[in-house]
Amino acid sequence: MKVINTVAALKSLLGPIRSAQQKIALVPTMGALHKGHVSLIEVAQQHAEVVVCSIFVNPTQFTDPKDLEKYPRPLEHDMAMLEQCGCDIVFMPSVKEMYPGPENWHIDLGPAEFLLEGEFRRGHYQGVTQIVKKLFDVVSPDIAFFGQKDFQQVLMIQQMVSYFNLSVQIITCPIIREEDGLAMSSRNIHLNAQDRQNALVLSRALYNVKDHFDLGRIPELEAKARQMIEATQGVKLDYFVIVDGLTLEPAELPYGKQLVALVAAKVGETRLIDNMILAEQ
């Protein structure tokens, strides 16, 4: 496994690979890797000859400086995980390398940018799409892999790809859950034993909606899920909604391509998100 820290070194490593017509996959991460990330790398390995995993805690997507400061950075553990799953290249640039000077960035991500996570974390998706665009520029991947857990993030990245008319293919991989249902997340590390237990209400509420899903009962199902979460001590609900998977607007009949339930809540001091696709056509 090669560990690369500069844009120039990565470009010169990837140049001959691209000339040899080998497919390059990118798995962008902020480190603190878990089985969800490993699953992205494993799927990427099935689609491309060379897999690049980037580890970069991107400052421009943090709307709370304290959140950036306390973001976990278990580097040795990450390296061991990547080595073990056979990742080819790790790209680990410094902040200066990715942001050599001040940048004003704004692209039109459409109205969904300001809904749900976008409403709670204003500017977050400008930061996410900014760094993902930069990584795409450096790596020029044929395919890039993202987890469905950050459902809205994938939507915004797809929007950015279409805005710049990029040729990269975006693949969304399923959420990986712990045995008890908790969605894997780098932030789970911050949960104490009680929070960890309380956090289970999020996946339980999602499964409850999925198990009883009926297009005619959406408001009732949303209300039940909110009630379950709000009744759990130590959990502060931000939203639980069933929305159109493309617009993030409230689900209406006839529904579009996809209906998804999205939830965000603060569990103890840690903000968690999760989701579940309810219907697809």
The catalytic residue positions are: 37
Separation between Cα atoms, residue 199 and residue 189, nearest integer Å: 12
Q: Which residues of 147-159 are buried (b: 16+ CB within 10 A; e: fewer)?
A: bbbbbbbbbbbeb
The smaller minimum CB distance to ligand PAF, of residues 150 and 274, is found at 150
Is residue 87 near ligand PAF by the rule CB under 6 A? no
Stretch that binds ligand PAF, among 128-136, 192-200, 211-219, 265-273 (CB under 6 A): 128-136
Residue 141 within binding range of ligand PAF, rule CB under 6 A: no
Q: Does 131 bind ligand PAF (CB under 6 A)?
A: yes
Question: Which DSSP category does 261 fall into?
Answer: E
Tokens 């929305």: give the residue: 243
Bridge partners of 244, per DSSP, are: 259
Contact 154, 168 (CB under 8 A): no
Half-sphere exposure of 124 (CA within 13 A, CB side): 22
Question: Tokens representing 156?
Answer: 């915004």
What's the N-to-C CA distance of the chain in angstroms?
40
**Of the residues 28, 93, 118, 141, which one makes contact with ligand PAF according to CB under 6 A:** 28
- Identify which of residues 28 and 93 has a Cβ nearer to ligand PAF in the complex: 28
> What type of residue sits at position 222?
E
Any contact of residue 202 with ligand PAF (CB under 6 A)? no
140/80 Cα distance (integer angstroms): 26
Minimum CB distance to ligand PAF, residue 153 (Å) = 6
Among 44, 81, 89, 128, binds ligand PAF (CB under 6 A): 128
Nearest approach, Cβ of residue 206 and ligand PAF (Å)? 20
The one-letter amino acid code at 234 reads G
Residues 44-73 that bind ligand PAF (CB under 6 A): 58, 61
Does 150 interact with ligand PAF (rule: CB under 6 A)? yes
Q: Of 62 and 240, which has the nearer Cβ to ligand PAF?
A: 62
Residues that bind ligand PAF (CB under 6 A): 28-30, 58, 61, 128, 131-132, 150, 153
